[in-house]
A and B are shown apart, each in its own frame.
Chain A
């Protein structure tokens, strides 16, 4: 696979493919750095550097970096030669950019009729606003998510990070595998026009139906549920510690009451049935919160779950690295990176019994594999590579510098 892609929506698709054995070449250039290498924290030890980015690591583990400048004609020629040997091309430029470079689907299919090309962008390759560029944080608002986060009647709250990008990563991955099956059946490749906006709307489909069928616009409800009560996250002992509790029927409520040691307030008729709990929900939340404040979140989760009540500690970001269930699943893969040192990458949420994902591999340093790729895939000699590098068509890795203070 060859990626002409930056940030999240394109590269993270390649990352998952690499996790399952694809040889993924990321074409990148110092003249147009992936924004995640260049601008966005975190950087290791808060020192900026193209090989020090955590957000780049997250989206690019396991892929190979090829230094390739598409502003140089010989660079475009290398790209064409690589595509002629590729199964899949992934790109997430602004619509029209690949065509301008001579790398549009028509040109690439003429070279390689079996190639599957995924174009992933904000709004799709057609329509009145197709050219509009954007970042996932704002597109998450356009597709309806931001409107649905917050207190009832309060200001909406934005999701952390470019939420919608990762929705599109999943759909992009699925689309590529679907197109590869089609190619297996027919011998033909094809073009995939993926609109991240349209992917996002899939995830709020029930809200779209609610507006049409019930005539109301779903809006912010904090953590409340249509009928379950209690249904929320409750403060626990310690600083910024919380635990979710959700009770879906009267049987579960009785289990919760028993776990609390049958306090007087919980025996009140105001909380005896699902409907009455829902009606008196604010008071219920207050009283339940008084009890949870005396509990450690881990203990609370364990005791409620043992009793059969829905409950989960609100993991802080740091907790994700000590969560026993994520550890059991090998969710975080440990890698050694020449500049960053030891760090973690995220393994896929699906575990295959017979073809498990590959061992974790770090994200590449900028241009780390230029020679390897040109030699192995295109059979170029060292001399040819040096000549291309002198023209600026390909770019080689910088000598590695240890970032650790001596």
Chain B
């Protein structure tokens, strides 16, 4: 574990306590509050949080399976085990809630209420508590009790209908995204409520729907319907809806070692890009006369015809086929063009921009010598710390520290609770 650096500045939430009762849907919410400095206590069932059982797994030197999803979203948390379905477990949670600033949970609606540990129950212990509940569809409404994993949340959010190829199956992103979106909106809601509490002293309940959160993945598509009764659909490697001529534009291009993204744009940035690309192509003798002679300052994407787009794209496509991803990135940056390679995990880990900003944080995981690079803080503050202080905890790693040292249970009591499977 990294020892705390005394020279480090505090975070925005240093001194705040978060109780994290989340399943995978809410892990990132607790992590965001922890990255801002809060002391986050992950309260897990004695068998371990559901996120720990989520594949794919890495097997450490002792043979223990470590979920990559779990590792990714649970740093800055201390772990205790607590069986909330026992009398002692409930009592301990109530005590902990009395001293907490935030509680974040993502159990099915009504579950914690059924144990007397819902918002109304815990409000009595602590009227200052910000209670954030993250669920697939929200705490009420016709879909409240529906089963929802990544696919259901994304399907119902509309985004799949605009992702993929025309006539083929709607698609999701192959690394699940709905949990991150739900958690992001959870943290937004929790901090909005916290801002209010710091002014008034009163906590409140924050009800987050993952479906609602993921509607934003549709970006502006809903307004095509709302304004003009157009229903955007899947366009594969193309982009449409940007012209009055109905022209479509290619977005994804094969290159020498993968793919790049390049889209013909108008406006000042697009005009500059088109000119710069023509010049770049020309250095390889691959710029056709019609592109060299084009007055790019007058190029308007709204009125360009499909015929002209096709002619340009044919030449661009030939040119990109001989460019590597790395070369493409270098040239677009030097030439001030819009466009980026389609990066995979290895490209991102090797990107010098991220390294130069000190983005990665190296953590040593139990049962492994070689350190692992984790994405660091989500932003850089001039006067505050934001990032990883603690590696993701092992199950119940902090039972003794929290129950004995901080809450005052004796070793004998802990043994009893362990025997009763309360912890």
Interface positions of A (Cβ within 8 A of B): 8, 16, 20, 35, 38-46, 48, 54-55, 57-58, 105, 123-124, 126-130, 132-135, 137-150, 155-163, 165-167, 169-175, 177-182, 184, 186, 188, 190-195, 197-199, 201-214, 217-224, 226-228, 231-233, 235, 240, 242-244, 246, 248, 305, 308-321, 323-326, 328-329, 331, 340, 343-344, 346, 348-355
In the complex with contacts A178-B384, A198-B378, A149-B173 CB distance below 8 A: yes
**A178-B191, A353-B207 given; A318·B184 CB < 8 A:** no
State whether B345 touches A329 (Cβ < 8 A). Answer: no
Contact (Cβ within 8 A) A321 B225? yes
* 21 cross-chain CB contacts under 8 A: A55-B220, A141-B261, A141-B340, A142-B341, A144-B343, A147-B343, A165-B219, A166-B219, A174-B32, A174-B188, A180-B195, A184-B198, A190-B384, A233-B170, A248-B149, A316-B158, A324-B141, A328-B140, A348-B185, A349-B215, A351-B208
Complex interface: chain A residues within 8 A of B56 (CB): 210, 214, 226
Chain A residue with Cβ nearest B382 = A191
Tell me if B290 is interfacial: C-beta within 8 Å of chain A. Answer: no
Q: Is B400 an interface residue (CB 8 A)?
A: no
- Cβ-defined contact, B228 with A218, below 8 A: no
Please tell me the size bucket of the interface on B.
35 or more
B224 touches A41 (CB 8 A): yes
Would you give the 0/1 interface string for B178-204, flagging 1 where the beta carbon is closer than 8 Å to chain A?
001110111111011111101000101
> Contact at A191–B381, with CB atoms within 8 Å?
yes
With contacts A218-B175, A219-B174 known, is A240 near B252, CB below 8 A?
no
Of A129, A177, A202, the residue contacting B378 (CB under 8 A) is: A202
Contact A39 B267 (CB under 8 A): yes
Q: Does B36 contact A (CB under 8 A)?
A: yes
Q: Is the CB of B228 within 8 A of A44?
A: yes
Report yes or no: B375 in contact with A202, Cβ–Cβ below 8 A. yes
* Contact B378–A171 (Cβ < 8 Å): yes
- The distance in angstroms between the C-alpha atoms of A115 and B22, with both chains bound, is 34
Q: Which residues of B contact A159 (CB under 8 A)?
A: 163, 173, 217
B212 touches A206 (CB 8 A): no
Check A318/B215 contact, CB under 8 A, given A147-B344, A218-B174, A325-B143: no
Contact B344 A217 (CB under 8 A): yes
Q: Is B106 an interface residue (CB 8 A)?
A: no
Task: Say whether B224 contacts A317, CB under 8 Å.
Answer: yes
Looking at A145, A146, A248, A305, the one whose CB has the most chain B CB atoms below 10 A away is A146
Q: Which residues of A contact B163 (CB under 8 A)?
A: 149, 157, 159-160
Q: Is the interface of B mostly helix, strand, loop or mixed?
A: mixed
B211 within 8 A of A: yes
| Of A58, A165, A177, A340, the contact of B191 (CB 8 Å cutoff) | A177
Q: A146-B252, A212-B372, A351-B206 are in contact. Are A160 and B218 (CB under 8 A)?
A: yes
| Contact residues in B for A167 (Cβ distance below 8 Å) | 184
* Set B192, B225, B381: member contacting A20, Cβ < 8 A: B192
A residues within 8 A CB of B193? 352, 354-355
**Given A211-B345, A326-B211: A315 touches B158 (CB 8 Å cut-off):** yes
Chain A residues in 8 Å Cβ range of B372? 209, 212-213
Known A146-B342, A354-B205; 20 more pairs at CB < 8 Å: A39-B301, A134-B340, A137-B239, A142-B341, A147-B343, A149-B174, A160-B163, A167-B184, A171-B378, A175-B381, A191-B381, A191-B383, A193-B381, A205-B73, A209-B58, A223-B171, A231-B151, A312-B152, A313-B155, A323-B156
Asked whether, in the complex, the Cβ of B384 is within 8 Å of the Cβ of A179, the reply is yes
> Taking CB as reference atom, which chain A residue is nearest B70?
A206
Measured between beta carbons, the chain A residues less than 8 angstroms from B177 are: 203
- B241 at the A/B interface (Cβ < 8 Å)? yes
What is the bound-complex CA distance between A142 and B258, given in angstroms? 13
Q: Which B residues touch A190, using CB under 8 A?
A: 381-384
**Given the complex of chains A and B, what is the CA–CA distance between A171 and B185 in angstroms?**
9
Cα of A376 to Cα of B171 in the assembled complex, Å: 50
B390 interface residue (CB < 8 Å to A): no
Q: Is the CB of B170 within 8 A of A314?
A: yes
Contact partner, A233, options B71, B148, B160, B180, Cβ 8 Å: B160
Stretch of B91-99, B274-282, B347-355, B409-417 that contacts chain A: B347-355
The answer to whether B266 touches A39 (Cβ under 8 A) is: yes
Q: Return chain B residues, CB-CB under 8 Å to A166.
A: 216-217, 219
Stretch at the interface among B81-89, B315-323, B330-338: B330-338
Q: Does B169 contact A (CB under 8 A)?
A: yes
Nearest chain A CB to B103 CB, angstrom units: 14
Pairwise interchain contact A171-B379, C-beta atoms closer than 8 A = yes
Looking at the assembled complex, report how far the CB atom of A52 sits from the nearest CB atom of chain B, in whole angstroms: 8
Residues of B within 8 A of A305 (CB): 143, 146-147
The answer to whether B225 and A39 have CB atoms under 8 Å apart is no
B305 / chain A contacts, CB cutoff of 8 Å: none
Contact partner, A161, options B202, B219, B237, B265, Cβ 8 Å: B219
Q: How many Å lie between the Cα of A127 and that of B355 in the bound state?
A: 8
State the CA gap A48–B379 with chains docked (Å): 37
Which residues from chain A contact B206 at a C-beta distance below 8 Å? 350-353
Kindly state whether residue B357 has any CB partner on chain A within 8 Å: yes
Min C-beta distance of B341 to chain A, whole Å: 7
Residues of chain B lying within 8 A (CB to CB) of residue A170 = 181, 184-185, 187-188
- A202 shortest CB reach to chain B, Å: 5
Asked whether any CB of chain A lies closer than 8 Å to the CB of B244, the reply is yes
Return B177 CB to nearest CB of chain A, in Å. Answer: 6
CA distance A183 to B227 in the complex (A): 41
Return the chain B residue nearest A123 by Cβ.
B353
In the complex, the answer to whether B252 meets A158 with C-beta atoms within 8 Å is: yes
B195 to chain A, nearest CB (A): 6
B130 CB to nearest A CB, Å: 10
Which residue of B is nearest A234, CB measured? Answer: B169
User: Would B151 and A147 count as touching, CB distance under 8 A?
Assistant: no
Does A227 contact B55, Cβ atoms closer than 8 Å? Answer: yes
Give residues of chain B (256-274) contacting chain A, Cβ–Cβ below 8 Å.
Answer: 259-263, 265-267, 269
Pick from A157, A316, A321: contact of B252, CB under 8 Å = A157
A317 and B213 contacting across the interface, CB-CB below 8 Å: no
User: Roughly how many angstroms separate A130 CA and B380 CA in the complex, as a whole number?
Assistant: 14
* B174 pairs with A175, CB closer than 8 A: no
| B225 A181 Cβ-Cβ under 8 A | no
Chain B residues near A186 (CB-CB < 8 A): 383
With known contacts A190-B384, A197-B353, A137–B261 Cβ distance under 8 A:
yes
Query: Which of B140, B222, B357 has a CB less than 8 Å from the CB of A320?
Result: B222
